[in-house]
């Protein structure tokens, strides 16, 4: 595929003086007038205290203004707003825009990185990027070619840049960075190319790497502290990761870290998840394959691991564990608890004590889930925290390559990276979900650096007897129960936003921005944007008005057929066939749509 791009950075000097940036924001609570970090706040809640738009007037929303990004592929991120300026980026080539909110979104500056288009073929599931981060007067971007760049927020000029990995060997940058105090945190994509996952901290001031913790390998690499790091309350033994792999397979073991990150200032812990082990063929990697598919709690200053929990040992289905880690304070059984809530690709919603890593709740958030019957929640049991498998849905059962059919969920999970939101007002989580099953046939594959290292053929389809491929649900994480559920024709792949107005927003693959009542799920408003939505809804206030904004641009794993022009139903790791009908409802695009109530 040939594409031409205009490279270099364009800075319009005449506009620089018009940028008005608010003081640096350390977003640890709910978002308010600004949206300064990818999830609005570092706790990952995607909740805003703004309430001008509420359940009574949301039906009156109108389009306030729009902006074309000029890029046609999957737009999987969200804008940031700091003061009078909005910042957003695009899929490859990862153009960054600064827009003047005081002048109808006028372009203040544009950064166009020079990247080798040869990185495109090693991007697993479309050329997505999940957004930029802000801190210390800088905008941080993790480019597809694994360059972490810091831009002056007022001018767009490069303050510093550093390479985090080697894209020629399959590593790519697709994640949204997170800024906490004087550090910026990033992970890596590339599990489908045998890249060994890592998570790293860099100095905000100069880009110097402070620490890096790998997903697997010896303790010196993972930064696990034997005897002190705990796994469900038990001290972790020395080199526990290495001993869970056969031979040196851990060196190409996957466990990528391209998902969302959260931070707790009280304990100074940063939380994230690691993805699937490599290869997808489980018979080639016997053992638990630690620590792929794991929730990590690391000291933000040193990277030392305080606790971890592997959700899907010896993953046989590509159930990446990289989805968001949402931090809340709620009561469970009448007791105040500091919680971490995670909706995993494997279809279970997990509630843990975020200080200790104790597992409190683990229940299915899609009733179709069948690969496991339950998670063992008995702390006294030798299998505490492990899934109880239904072996007929295990492709690598007894070390054999078996074609298993009707596995639910499919590899893209009951929820992929599309983030949930939490409302402290209702105490509920709002979760965009996939309602999709699969056939999964593994085959033997050899590793070559920079080449696909998958080893499985997939087919995807709705659960038997159903026609909808998604649901948008409200979830009680203290009980592990669905409170209400709104069906969607296709997967609900747009990230959610909850507000103090008791309105919840999300986007659909057909391109609808939807607003629903937070208490009942009743549809209050919908508008079809120019392309399918896989971006995440955010909100901000400017000149006394509340605005709601979302990027549309179909793509990502579910939309890869449209994004890349693929027609083989097995292409896109099975997604092309599963979502073949999507091209009847939307087409490629790259646009920002901003909504507000009518002015009096």
Catalytic residues: 318
* Terminal-residue alpha carbon distance, the chain: 50
- Ramachandran angles phi, psi of 123, nearest 5°: -95, 115
Q: Is the dihedral of CA 74, 536, 595, 430 positive or negative?
A: positive
Computed over its alpha carbons, how large is the radius of gyration of the chain? 22
By three-state DSSP, how is residue 451 classified?
coil
Nearest CA to 46 out of 323, 239, 318 is that of: 323
If 0-12 CB within 10 Å is exposed, 13-18 middle and 19+ buried, where does residue 17 land?
exposed
DSSP 23-48: PP----S-B-S-B-STTSSTT---EE
Q: Is the dihedral of CA 483, 489, 490, 496 positive or negative?
A: negative
Nearest CA to 407 out of 463, 447, 363 is that of: 463
DSSP 541-596: EETTEEEEEEEE---TTTTHHHHHT---TTTGGGHHHHTGGGGGT-----EEEEEE
Name residue 308's beta-bridge partners.
231, 296
Numbers of helices and strands, H then E, in the chain: 4, 41
If 0-12 CB within 10 Å is exposed, 13-18 middle and 19+ buried, where does residue 15 land?
middle
Cβ-based neighbour number of residue 332 at 10 Å: 15
Question: In the 8-state DSSP scheme, what is residue 74?
Answer: -
**Two tokens, residue 277:** 């082990």
H-helix or E-strand spanning residue 431: strand 428-434
Distance CA 155, CA 84 (A): 14
CA dihedral 360, 362, 365, 366 (to 10 degrees): -170
């Amino acid at each position: 595929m040939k594409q031409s791009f205009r490279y270099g950075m364009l800075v319009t000097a005449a506009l620089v003086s018009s940028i008005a940036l608010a003081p640096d924001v350390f977003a640890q609570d709910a978002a308010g007038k600004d949206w300064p970090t990818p999830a609005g706040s570092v706790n990952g809640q995607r909740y805003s205290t703004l309430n001008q738009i509420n359940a009574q007037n949301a039906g009156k929303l109108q389009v306030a203004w729009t902006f074309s990004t000029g890029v046609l592929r999957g737009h999987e991120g969200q804008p940031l707003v700091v003061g009078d300026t909005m910042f957003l980026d695009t899929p490859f080539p990862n153009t960054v825009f600064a827009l003047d909110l005081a002048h109808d979104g006028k372009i203040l500056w544009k950064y166009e990185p020079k990247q080798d288009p040869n990185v495109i073929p090693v991007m697993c599931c479309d050329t997505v990027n999940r957004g930029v981060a802000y801190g210390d007067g800088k905008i941080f971007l993790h480019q597809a070619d694994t360059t972490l760049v810091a831009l002056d927020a007022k001018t767009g000029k490069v303050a510093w840049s550093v390479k985090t990995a080697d894209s020629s060997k399959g590593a790519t940058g697709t994640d949204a960075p997170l800024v906490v105090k004087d550090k910026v945190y990033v992970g890596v994509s590339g599990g489908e190319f045998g890249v060994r996952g890592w998570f790293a901290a860099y100095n905000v001031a100069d880009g110097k790497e402070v620490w890096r913790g790998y997903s697997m390998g010896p303790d010196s690499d993972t930064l696990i502290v034997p005897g002190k790091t705990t796994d469900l309350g038990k001290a972790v033994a020395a080199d526990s990761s290495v001993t869970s792999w056969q031979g040196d397979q851990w060196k190409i073991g996957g466990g990528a870290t391209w998902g969302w990150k959260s931070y707790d200032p009280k304990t100074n812990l940063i939380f994230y998840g690691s993805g699937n082990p490599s290869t997808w063929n489980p018979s080639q990697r016997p053992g638990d394959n630690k620590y792929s598919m794991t929730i990590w709690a690391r000291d933000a200053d040193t990277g030392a691991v305080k606790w971890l929990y592997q959700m899907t040992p010896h993953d046989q289905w590509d159930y990446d564990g990289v989805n968001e880690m949402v931090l809340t304070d709620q009561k469970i059984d009448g007791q105040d608890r500091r919680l971490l809530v995670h909706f995993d690709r494997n279809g279970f919603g997990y509630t843990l004590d975020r200080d200790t890593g104790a597992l409190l709740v683990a229940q299915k958030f899609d009733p179709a889930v069948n690969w496991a019957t339950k998670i063992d929640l008995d702390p006294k049991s030798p299998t505490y925290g492990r899934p109880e498998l239904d072996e007929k849905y295990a492709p690598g059962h007894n070390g054999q390559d078996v074609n298993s059919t009707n596995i639910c969920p499919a590899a893209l999970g009951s929820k992929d990276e599309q983030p949930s939101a939490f409302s402290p007002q209702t105490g509920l989580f709002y979760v965009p979900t996939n309602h999709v099953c699969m056939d999964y046939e593994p085959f033997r594959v050899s590793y070559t650096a920079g080449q696909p290292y998958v080893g499985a053929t997939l087919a995807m389809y709705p659960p038997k007897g159903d026609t909808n491929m998604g649901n948008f649900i409200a979830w009680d994480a203290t009980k592990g129960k669905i409170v209400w559920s709104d069906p969607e024709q296709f997967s609900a792949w747009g990230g959610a936003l909850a507000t103090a107005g008791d309105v919840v927003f999300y986007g659909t693959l057909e391109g609808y921005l939807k607003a629903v009542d937070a208490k009942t799920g009743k549809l209050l408003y919908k508008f079809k944007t120019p392309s399918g939505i896989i971006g995440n809804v955010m909100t901000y206030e400017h000149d006394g008005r509340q605005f709601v904004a979302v990027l549309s641009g179909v793509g990502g794993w579910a939309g890869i057929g449209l994004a890349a022009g693929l027609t083989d139903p097995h292409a896109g790791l099975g997604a092309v066939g599963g979502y073949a009908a999507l091209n009847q409802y939307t087409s490629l695009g790259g646009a920002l749509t901003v909504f507000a109530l009518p002015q009096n």
